[in-house]
């Protein structure tokens, strides 16, 4: 069973930066493609970024050029570097693992939350 634990959330002013992390059980990032999702109050959960086992990435249009997804497989850590943050980025951020994609990003479906099998508990990011 895969366990994911996010950290690094907090409060930041508009235009600031924040990096959230997701620590996983051993070998998770070597086996599964991963995604970052977020849920703002009163809104649906939405995909932010995804990364395959070989490092290919995908981003939501709303964060392209501002957010960067990366990982350190040797440390079993997934990152989301967020720059030039805006109030509309305020949300609970979740990392998730896609077991069935065989390490690949699912093309146009990478942001479909139901395709991910394992989820962390989330970390809150607030931009004011």
Q: What is the pLDDT of residues 97-116, one digit of tens each?
A: 999 888 899 988 999 999 99
SS3 32: coil
Contact indicator for 111, 46 with CB cutoff of 8 Å: yes
Q: Produce one character per residue of 84-97: b if its CB has 16 or more CB atoms within 10 Å, e if not.
A: ebeeebbbbbbbbb
CA 17 to chain centre: 15
SS3 101: coil
**Confidence tier at 11 by pLDDT (50, 70, 90):** very high
Q: Supply the pLDDT for residue 101.
A: 87
Q: Which two tokens stand for residue 6?
A: 């996010």
The per-residue pLDDT for range 15-65, each reduced to its tens digit, is: 999 999 999 987 887 789 999 999 999 999 999 999 999 999 999 999 999
Q: Supply the pLDDT for residue 108.
A: 85
Residues listed for the chain:
128
């Amino acid at each position: 069973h895969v366990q994911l634990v996010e950290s690094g959330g907090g409060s930041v002013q508009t235009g600031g930066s924040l990096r959230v992390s997701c620590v996983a059980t051993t070998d998770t990032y070597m086996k599964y493609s991963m995604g970052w999702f977020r849920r703002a109050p009163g809104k649906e959960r939405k995909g932010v970024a995804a990364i395959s086992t070989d490092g290919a990435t995908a981003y939501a249009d709303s964060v392209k050029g501002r957010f960067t997804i990366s990982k350190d497989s040797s440390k079993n850590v997934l990152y989301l570097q967020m720059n030039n943050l805006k109030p509309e980025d305020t949300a609970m951020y979740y990392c998730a693992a896609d077991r069935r994609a065989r390490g690949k990003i699912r093309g146009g479906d990478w942001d479909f939350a139901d395709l991910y099998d394992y989820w962390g508990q989330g970390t809150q990011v607030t931009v004011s």
